[in-house]
Amino acid sequence: MAKKSEEMAQNPGNGPGIGFAVSLGAVTLIGPLAIHLFLPVMPAVKSSFGISDALVELTFSITLITMAVVTLVYGSLSDRYGRRPVLLAGLSLFVVGSGIAAITDSVAMLIIGRMVQAIGAGCGTTLTRAIARDAYGPETLIKAIAYLTMAYTIGPMIAPPLGGILMDAFGWRSVFWFAVIVGVTITAAAYFVLGETRSRADIAQRPVRFLSAYATLCTQPRFVAYIVHSGCMSLVFFAIAAASPFLMNDVLGRSATEYGLFFCFFPLGYCSGNLISGRLSGRVPIETMIMAGSVLTVAIVSTQTTLILNGYLNPYLIFVPGGMLSFAQGLALPNAQAGAMRVMPSLAGTAAGLGVFMQMFISAVSIELYGLFADGTPMPMIVLTSIGAALVFIVGCICWTLRVPERPATLATR
């Protein structure tokens, strides 16, 4: 393993094998297992513990908040100590946290378990992007991120339906036992297949201090625009994601299994958008893809809002626009993420961490705002998605203004 790791780190141009790619894609499933698997059981958790909408939303949003914070640490730690040891530590924590949540008998312990689970899950998105950049090179970074995101969408595609089935058959605790089993499997695959991709020379360099690295990146206007746009896109999606289980269960009277099946519209749209991003990588400017996603987001939110305000509400009006918004995300996010990481390649891990932090943090804010103002109607969702769509368009225009037009032929070399 050590010899393979050294060769991979020193010769990324040789390209990793299929086993490496599959294992790296599997690691991306950790995030959906922490986030989306829990969605169908939220009404049952609320009923089981007799808690408010705001508190049950906290058991969900605490995962995003925690993942947001730890991604800041994972990126810099992986730049300093290497990708492999940090990744394995994170995966192990995910398994432990899932176990705590499975055996809890109180809301407090459930929140603690969810936090530990999230601390571990935070390694997935950040480190897979950094590892992809190391292993596949900057020339194909947009394509690598797009295809990794497509692998990631397998999680949201199967997690809610599976969570709903487990919930209806065995109760809400079963989703956490399932997470334990899958987490152990993914950890084993990472241990035996994923070698170190950061070269010894890079690891041995005098590390840049965490705060100094963050400050350096945040003084770059293009970097800030890229990560803020990613966050605003996530705000729109998670406003719908947070509202959907309660609108389906409490307002429309649908089961957890039905919710999980309708939820498939979201990852299908996201996967399709990422597929197009991967195909257009290197041929269409990053800022053009970001702007396309921004315009599409405004159009979809406007249409959904108009129909709901005119008295129409059914599962298709929640999930079809949601799937189309996910498609718009798939167009914009891989390009914004790759653009952020190419601003300062020497801080790619830190940049990936900051980018994920912005997505997770704004998503958590969106979820908590929905929980705070939830009133049994679609209005809180409408307000949040409308605000988010406006911000997406504004920041998308800023990204377009800051574009570098003289380098359209080498967009993937970031």
Pick the CATH number of 2-197+209-403 from 1.20.1250.20, 3.40.50.1110, 3.30.70.2970, 1.10.10.410: 1.20.1250.20
| pLDDT score for 203 | 55
Alpha-carbon span 329 to 137, nearest angstrom: 24
| pLDDT score for 52 | 80
Q: In sequence order, which residues have a C-beta less than 8 Å from that of residue 280 and are 6 or more positions away?
A: 289
| pLDDT score for 229 | 93
| pLDDT score for 10 | 45
| pLDDT score for 406 | 46
pTM of the model: 0.69
| pLDDT tens track for 275-298 | 888 788 778 888 899 999 999 999
Low-confidence ranges of the chain (pLDDT < 70): 1-16, 138-143, 146, 149, 153, 156, 198-210, 348-349, 405-414
Alpha-carbon span 260 to 174, nearest angstrom: 15
| pLDDT score for 206 | 52
Alpha-carbon span 393 to 377, nearest angstrom: 26
Alpha-carbon span 191 to 185, nearest angstrom: 10
